[in-house]
A and B are shown apart, each in its own frame.
Chain A
Amino acid sequence: MAAPTRSEALSLLRSLIRTSRQFCDYNIREYAKRRVVDGFRHNRNLSDPSSISSAYADGKAQLEVAKRQSAVYSLYAPKVKSIMEAHRIN
């Protein structure tokens, strides 16, 4: 597999953040957002094309996992909101 372009990588980052937002549990949602950004930062200096494409493929796979899990967790949404988001009006 060819190494992804810069815009493909950024597009994957956007998709991952968008999916992370959909987790209904505050803790999981915040963890997912943090984990996504940390993962990209961790791999930002990769230069070897094969490790770049394996990191990209890993991200794609994680995106699918996140999509599936956010759908599954939405069926078991917490009944009470976290105190951390209680003050938010939205």
Chain B
Amino acid sequence: MALRAAVLRHLRVPVQFSALARRECQPTPCSGGSLRLFSSQDDRSTKEEVTERVLSVIKRHPKVDPSKVTPDVHFQKDLGLDSLDTVEIVMALEEEFKLEIPDNEADKIDSCNLAIEYVCNHPMAS
């Protein structure tokens, strides 16, 4: 145990030292704010892109009048779709964003807004 502790202590010191040294000699390139490492993408632009793609998927459905599709429409109330169409649209969204939406979640998605929100909050959406 004593040997192990000694080895660990010995190993850790140079790493810390070199990390500190590097920070000192390179005056932090990412502190300017232009490059934010480990931050997620700009939320607004991704949400706009998701909205656009969701709307285009819905417009592609044969029973939907494309001129009626806005981000706020309800599938059954506004677009006159039935539950089978809703399932078809949710499955098309799965395909578009390469997702697997579990049944209990898919049942809840009945409007454009909910679909956009679900895709935005899904970590695997692409």
Give the Cβ gap from A37 to chain B, nearest Cβ, in Å.
6
Bound Cα distance from A16 to B93, whole angstroms = 16
Closest to B100 in A: A18
Q: Is B78 interfacial (CB-CB < 8 Å)?
A: no
List residues of A (4-46) whose CB comes within 8 Å of B's CBs.
6-7, 10-11, 13-14, 17-18, 21, 37, 40-41, 44
Residues of chain B within 8 A (CB-CB) of A7 are 103, 107
**Chief secondary structure at chain B's binding surface:** helix
> Do B103 and A37 touch across chains, with their CB atoms under 8 A apart?
no
B106: interface (CB < 8 Å): yes
Q: Enumerate chain A residues within 8 angstroms of B84, measured Cβ to Cβ.
A: 10, 13, 37, 40-41, 44
Contact in complex: A18, B91 (CB < 8 Å): yes
In the complex, A39→B22 CA distance in Å? 66
The verdict on B87 contacting chain A, using a C-beta distance below 8 Å, is yes
B56 within 8 A of A: no
Q: Which residues of B contact A13 (CB under 8 A)?
A: 84, 87
List, in ascending order, chain A residues with CB within 8 A of B91's CB. Answer: 14, 17-18
Category for how many chain A residues contact B: 10 to 19
Give the residues in chain B near A18, CB-CB below 8 Å: 91
Contact B83 A6 (CB under 8 A): yes
User: How far is it, in angstroms, between the C-alpha of A10 and the C-alpha of B103 when the chains are bound?
Assistant: 9
A14 lies within 8 A of B95 (CB): no
In angstroms, Cα B83 to Cα A6, docked, is: 10
Task: Give min CB distance, A23 to chain B, whole Å.
Answer: 14
By a beta-carbon cutoff of 8 Å, the part of chain A in contact with chain B is 6-7, 10-11, 13-14, 17-18, 21, 37, 40-41, 44
Enumerate chain B interface residues (CB-CB to A < 8 A). 82-84, 87-88, 91, 95, 103, 106-107
Given A10-B83, A44-B82, 18 more pairs with CB closer than 8 A: A7-B107, A10-B84, A10-B87, A10-B103, A10-B107, A11-B103, A13-B84, A13-B87, A14-B87, A14-B91, A14-B103, A14-B106, A17-B87, A21-B95, A37-B84, A37-B88, A40-B84, A44-B84
